[in-house]
Structure 1
């Protein structure tokens, strides 16, 4: 649920460890491979779309599914809350997101030293807090400050700020620049209670979209983070088949365990990234095959792919506007598709936000999107639907 993003620069590492602009290393080679996508998309958007070929006709088996999807409302997910406007995953960002009425608000979840689930995008603290100033000696041998090494009381001594790069510079220069608001790390329970109470008072039905972060890491630390997240979802009425929620994870083995061992009955999403992001031992290249999608469909209700995986690069260099072949397999297996991440301040050069969203809806037939910037996406949806 994160790096530029179509081009789609791999600053996205997700939804993952640093997301759009938090990559510690440039991914020049991979971005260069994606450059043809942008050029072809611009051709397609100008009206030069090639006629269907024999290979196109392979998609006929999915037409009924796609038509059904077209009649459903495009789902808008507040990525880390209203993170395009306020520091990510703070209660303030969640409150602002709620006020804009997305369908879901996302929570990434890691576990503290005293086994409390808190809402942070990474297992590390230094990119979004002042932990290096408050606890300068509490890093591990790799130089990183792990949330798992701090109690909740200690985390409450930290201030949350806009995401910073390895040099301490704000990743998104034009986002929140304030220094004195004293944003804090919040627990998953606090986030769920906030959304539940706001739903009650405003007669709304905003759902939650938690992600189990780095489950294998937490298992090595002696803690079952998935069970903790599910238990918290159940406590606040968001869990199970009737809960207004999705539960997401980058680890395919953990998705299987959530279903088979933990017996979770609610909606589950398999996140898909790049193998070199280090999210898990999952082979994401294999996931993006017919066999991979069939296996995912045995355990998950949907997928959360990176935007850069969604388009057929070869076809687009020839002027054809096509989704990547593997997307067809996702549709055939009736998997919901929620790509990540739409960012108004990281659009492909030469493209408008509306053009990107229209490609997602009309070419990929995505069911929704994760976004840092709710206002333009919700406005586009209102105008289109």
Structure 2
């Protein structure tokens, strides 16, 4: 049954992202998998946060005992100011309350602010296994390793920490539960060398270069755009199992910006023997392509089903979605239509 519906940071359209409620709700709404973003604490515990800078998604600023840890750092070439997971032990991080990252847009989700604590990667694995037991069907995790070259530079190698965690939890059995993704190809190769089983997916942007390759090669580092060509996709075969791209690269538009269908990228990836996933499907006008926006307000749902159908009908192998139930519904519609055509 394709495409795989992946709860992006859980059901992050309905609950603050990366919380127990978000992950459990994603599976309750029919998701096949969930996607935790993985960063590290000071004492080497892998925790799930969108970024290692946590001021937007936690109440850390409300904790006077942590005020002195407010700082400025450069992460992958970007200057960031705030509080960072690597400056806290797990015991300290677990005292924080989680918050909705987009409170103005998702007020219903923001009403749950402060009700949930931070999770470790090991907690997410337990949630996935429990969901599989309840559904009596396979469920999986798409773990994104965030800023691995940066973490390695400060003595917190994510490949080593991740491999240890996966092995300790019995998740390195090659049974399909584990998919690993990163914007940095080096860490995917390191995990392979450490004997970690699971599909390895290289995240690609429309612009820019992988931070790890910039650190290694400087101006000679290849651009993400290279990997989006037929030759670049073929070069990836054997080093990774697939790629994951923003939806703008799946949607074909004309000179006026009107979506006319799906681009040939999905077919090109499959021709190169690669899986291809797409991120992130969201129903609010703020995130939809202009062709699918309806009404005046950014938070209003536009013609999301048309955009979802265009992407999910392209042959893509998986979609990351904030509202898993909507993608599950579109997938079922596409399946019914296909069944009717086949008689």
> What's the TM-score, normalizing by structure 2?
0.81
The answer to whether residue 85 in structure 2 is matched with residue 155 in structure 1 is no
1:113 aligned to 42, 46, 49, which one? 42
- Contiguous gaps of at least 5 residues in structure 2: 74-80, 215-221, 293-302, 336-343
The equivalences for 1:20-39 within 5 A come to none
Residue deviations 1:137-165, cap 9 Å, x none? 2022343211111001111121110005x
Paired position in structure 2 for 1:90: 19
Distance 1:202 1:173 in 2: 29
Paired position in structure 2 for 1:295: 235
Paired position in structure 2 for 1:241: 174
Q: Is the 8 Å Cα contact of residues 250 and 266 (structure 2) preserved in structure 1?
A: yes
Q: 1:377 to 1:361 in 2, by over 3 A?
A: closer
The equivalences for 1:48-197 within 5 A come to 72-134=1-63, 135-142=66-73, 143-164=81-102, 170-178=103-111, 181-197=114-130
Q: Is the 8 Å Cα contact of residues 338 and 366 (structure 1) preserved in structure 2?
A: yes
Distance 2:53 2:92 in 1: 14
Residue 269 of structure 1, CA deviation: 0.7
Deviates more, 1:250-259 or 1:123-132: 250-259
Residue 327 of structure 1, CA deviation: 4.1
1:377 aligned to 319, 327, 330, which one? 327
1:268 aligned to 178, 194, 200, which one? 200
Q: Matched residue pairs, number?
A: 306
Structure with a larger share of its residues in strand: 2
Distance 1:340 1:318 in 2: 19
Give the secondary structure class of the aligned counterpart of 2:143: strand
Distance 1:295 1:171 in 2: 43
Distance 2:210 2:82 in 1: 15
1:343 aligned to 274, 279, 282, which one? 282
Distance 1:213 1:318 in 2: 33
Residue 303 of structure 1, CA deviation: 1.0
Q: Is the 8 Å Cα contact of residues 251 and 311 (structure 2) preserved in structure 1?
A: no
The answer to whether residue 317 in structure 2 is matched with residue 367 in structure 1 is yes
Distance 1:376 1:283 in 2: 34
Deviates more, 1:153-162 or 1:248-257: 248-257
Give the secondary structure class of the aligned counterpart of 1:136: helix
Paired position in structure 1 for 2:306: 355
Q: 1:196 to 1:132 in 2, by over 3 A?
A: same
> What's the TM-score, normalizing by structure 1?
0.73
Q: Is the 8 Å Cα contact of residues 246 and 268 (structure 1) preserved in structure 2?
A: yes
Distance 2:244 2:194 in 1: 21
- Contiguous gaps of at least 5 residues in structure 1: 1-71, 165-169
Q: 1:318 to 1:359 in 2, by over 3 A?
A: closer
Give the secondary structure class of the aligned counterpart of 1:246: strand
The answer to whether residue 208 in structure 2 is matched with residue 258 in structure 1 is no
Distance 1:300 1:278 in 2: 15
Paired position in structure 2 for 1:12: none
Paired position in structure 2 for 1:215: 148
Distance 2:33 2:211 in 1: 23
Query: Could you say which structure has the greater relative contact order, defined with CA pairs below 8 angstroms and 6 or more residues apart?
Result: 1
Q: Is the 8 Å Cα contact of residues 266 and 315 (structure 2) preserved in structure 1?
A: no
Distance 1:316 1:365 in 2: 25
Give the secondary structure class of the aligned counterpart of 2:152: helix
Residue deviations 1:311-340, cap 9 Å, x none? 44468879964515x544312112111100
